[in-house]
Amino acid sequence: MPASQPRSRARDRNNVLNRAEFLSLNQPLKGNQESRSSGRKQSGQAGAAGAQNTNPKERRQSQQLPEEDCMHLNPSFKGIAFNSLLAIDICMSKRLGVCANRASSWGGARSMINLLGITGHGIPWIAGTLICLVKSSTLAGQEVLMNLLLALLLDIMIVAGLQKLAKRKGPYDINPGLLDYLTMDTYAFPAGHASRVAMLSKFFLNHLVLAIPLRILLVLWALCVGFSRVMIGRHHITDVLSGFVFGYLQFRLVELIWMSSNTCQMLISIW
């Protein structure tokens, strides 16, 4: 035992870590321990004081997170299907926007597509209906024209209201034209041109005597005008399809509130 003690002492002397400059590596400083312990005590005291100051109702509310802040790790099947269809709609609409700008693949045909869109605009149709109404001399013609004017005005108001509610932007960042601002057709859903041409084509098919080739051309015109809005980048595919649906519903509404010849004559006399 006495011989082992001097050996252990000699080892301690020869150990480099036992020197004064390396003592901080083996033993933590007392000041750091004291500062850490004091910091923990202060934070614990502050937490305890805050817990005492808060009411039990506030504690319960803080423990219960709102539902919108929670992460939905298992979304519903309807949500997945809706988001997938929306993504497909946006992707297909961007691909079909071949005339969205001059640099597009069909950029040279942009002016022609714009001209086709003007044929389905509300302002030319309202102006043309008013001119025909002034020049019409038959009671049947005035009745049809007055109800057509009512249908056009209802179309503008209904589409403008729905667009203000939805506020959906188009697939491309394209500013509306002057005629679009006049008819309040500034958003994408539903497509105002599509609803108008669907309503007009159905109106003419029901109240005008047309040959079969003219009926086919009328339907093709409505389809071309509707999908030209996708080609020019103003609307999505679903915007145009929903516009066709709303146009048909507007036609049914006009048929329900159809003004008789006497009512039309009274309105014309007031005007």
Catalytic residue check, 121: no
DSSP string of the chain? -TTHHHHHHHHHHH-GGGSGGGHHHHS--HHHHHHHHHHHHHHHHHHHHHHHHS-HHHHHHHHS--GGGS--SS--HHHHHHHHHHHHHHHHHHHH-TTSSTTSTTGGGHHHHHHHHHTT-HHHHHHHHHHHHHH--SHHHHHHHHHHHHHHHHHHHHHHHHHHHH-PPPSS-----HHHHHTT--SSSS-HHHHHHHHHHHHHHHHS---HHHHHHHHHHHHHHHHHHHHTTSS-HHHHHHHHHHHHHHHHHHHHTPPPHHHHHHHHHH-
Catalytic residue chosen out of the listed positions 72, 121, 193, 207:
193
Task: List all residues 6 or more positions away from 200 whose beta carbon is below 8 Å from its beta carbon.
Answer: 120, 125, 151, 222, 247
Catalytic position from the list 121, 207, 235, 236: 235
- Residues noted as catalytic: 193, 235
